[in-house]
Chains A and B, each alone.
Chain A
């Protein structure tokens, strides 16, 4: 089992640039989650999908953030334009079913630094 795969592991870019984070969930998992982790706010759920459909995006901070899941094996989180306050570690997680008693499995995260 390959686990949840995220890329890139690290991203450093200048403010105003577009940033795209990628996630490949575990095969067979049909729920996917994007989290942001900062020292100040801890782990925050940004958005989650079930069967490729966004279910709850209430955690997305503002319109600069968008997420897509074009198919069951791939999702992106995009920030455009990026700002220094977006610097954080972004985690993707997946689980086998929605609402069931299964834990979420996390990827290694993308450490994003906006200069």
Chain B
């Protein structure tokens, strides 16, 4: 079964700082990749997804992620965070054509005004 690793579970940074969250997965075949965001007390919302094509994908709210196949990674970035980006961020992986979605443990991000 595929697994997803997210490092640095707790991240604290100031507004305007840059954010990068790492995501590595273990699966040798073609995968679909997702980042979800969960704001305090809310449900998971899709931030961005990669299925094929350009490995640099842009999502909502200024987030982007880069798929590096050779490194089995799908890192999330935002050049300048805002206080409203305080949330938990989950990386998720699904083998192509498979319904199962494997989630990482999440990154708790706190942005200080």
- Of B34, B43, B99, which contacts A55 at CB under 8 A? B99
- If A101-B32, A101-B51, A103-B46 touch, whether A31 touches B99 (CB-CB below 8 Å) is yes
What is the CA–CA distance of A109 and B42 in the complex, to the nearest angstrom?
A: 8
Q: How many of chain A's residues touch chain B, expressed as a range?
A: 20 to 34
A34 at the interface (CB under 8 A from B): no
- Of A31, A33, A48, A103, which contacts B34 at CB under 8 A? A103
Q: Are B42's CB and A48's CB within 8 A?
A: no
Q: Are B97's CB and A45's CB within 8 A?
A: no
Q: Are A42's CB and B106's CB within 8 A?
A: yes
Interface flags for B74-113 (1: CB within 8 Å of A; 0: not) read: 0000000000000000100000011111111110000000
Q: Are A43's CB and B43's CB within 8 A?
A: no
Q: Are B43's CB and A98's CB within 8 A?
A: no
Q: Which residue of A lies closest to B104 (CB)?
A: A42
Interface flags for A31-62 (1: CB within 8 Å of B; 0: not) read: 10100000000110100101000011000000
- If A91-B44, A106-B43, A107-B43 touch, whether A45 touches B51 (CB-CB below 8 Å) is no
Residues on the B chain within 8 Å of A70, using CB: none
Residues on the A chain within 8 Å of B105, using CB: 42
Q: Are A91's CB and B99's CB within 8 A?
A: no
Q: Are A45's CB and B44's CB within 8 A?
A: no
A13 at the interface (CB under 8 A from B): no
Residues on the A chain within 8 Å of B49, using CB: 103
What is the CA–CA distance of A56 and B99 in the complex, to the nearest angstrom?
A: 10
Interface flags for B34-72 (1: CB within 8 Å of A; 0: not) read: 101000001111100101000000000000000000000
21 contacts between A and B (CB under 8 A): A31-B99, A33-B99, A33-B101, A42-B103, A42-B104, A42-B106, A43-B90, A43-B103, A43-B106, A45-B101, A45-B102, A48-B99, A50-B99, A56-B100, A95-B99, A101-B51, A103-B34, A103-B49, A106-B36, A107-B43, A108-B43
